[in-house]
Amino acid sequence: MNANRLLAAIAGFIALGFVLSSSIFVVDQRNFAVVFAFGQIVRVIEQPGLQL
């Protein structure tokens, strides 16, 4: 039973890491980013750097 909990916790951390790494992006100083959700523009990011 303890091994099943450990395996579930490891799988959860891997899934969480995948989701977090997919939602972080970098905006270059010379560019801007457009965030879309369901085909609609949600926001425009103009400041450079690491974004969530």
Check residue 50 and give its pLDDT. Answer: 87
Check residue 17 and give its pLDDT. Answer: 92
Query: Whole-structure pTM over 0.85, yes or no?
Result: no
Q: Which residue(s) pair with 43 in the sheet?
A: 35
Q: What residue type is assigned to position 36 of the chain?
A: F
Instruction: Please name the residues in contact with 41: beta carbons below 8 A apart, sequence gap of 6 or more.
Output: 34, 35
Q: Are 29 and 48 a contacting pair, CB within 8 Å? A: yes
DSSP 49: E
Check residue 1 and give its pLDDT. Answer: 61
Which backbone phi and psi does 34 adopt, to 5 degrees? -115, 125
* Boundaries of every domain in the chain: 24-52
The one-digit pLDDT tens for each residue of the chain (52 residues) are 688 899 999 999 999 999 988 889 899 889 999 999 999 999 999 999 888 8
